[in-house]
Structure 1
Amino acid sequence: MTSLVFSQPRSLVVSSETDDWASGVCDCCDDMADCCLGFWCCPCFACKTTKAYGQCLCLPLLDIFGCIPPVTMTMRVSMRQRYGIKGNMCQDCVCATCCSPCVWCQMSREMKTRKFPAVLGDIVHRR
């Protein structure tokens, strides 16, 4: 039995511009619903955000091992690279280690602001 494909993967839009984050790490009050969920149940919020980004739903649960949350840091690095945001891995490590819920809220706000599809496929560069 063969299955039919009704939709094709959409292209991933990658910005070639070097930009800043749309909001700061401490700007949690910009989206109170995300802020409350991120503060009171960060693991649930991190899983929800990771799924919206197009990754495995349970990936953030690996952050419970170790001092530095590896998944939070790598998601932040990935988002910086995908959206062309200025920064470096050292800043990502410090932010992820010092205030993980704030970082997850920032990444969620960034995805809402950018509204780029989080789908793997052909890469299209904007100019």
Structure 2
Amino acid sequence: MNSDEFYKEIGLLNNNGDLLFTIMPRLNFIHFWDDVLYSHLYKEAENCNNQELKIGQLIFTEEDFIELTDHLNVDRQTIDDSLNRLNRLDLVSFEKLSQNHGLLITIENYMEFHKTGAEQLASNSIE
């Protein structure tokens, strides 16, 4: 049984391969802004299969950076430093897109967090 079949069997994916729910992992961060940024990226990550992105990926444009820094009232360097720390911790990976179209960010182990959460929900369900 491949992973998609397993995920469908436990009720995590529908027949299209889309996530039916998301589970936010509880991770301990040393830096406050790492927690804030990771939570934001995790919530914004793709949860449906589509032509451009895989589940757990998102495109973060320059406009997204500006909006986030304005909303959080921090400078761009704070966000960049946090993103680089998350990358060094193997929580996210990113690559620059061509023609300044932003970053393709991948939340590492995105589906594994969901698998673990779904298994916990299944084991805690009352029959």
- Tell me the TM-score normalised to structure 2 length: 0.29
More helix per residue:
1
* Larger RCO (alpha carbons 8 Å, 6+ apart): 1
More strand per residue:
2
- Tell me the TM-score normalised to structure 1 length: 0.29
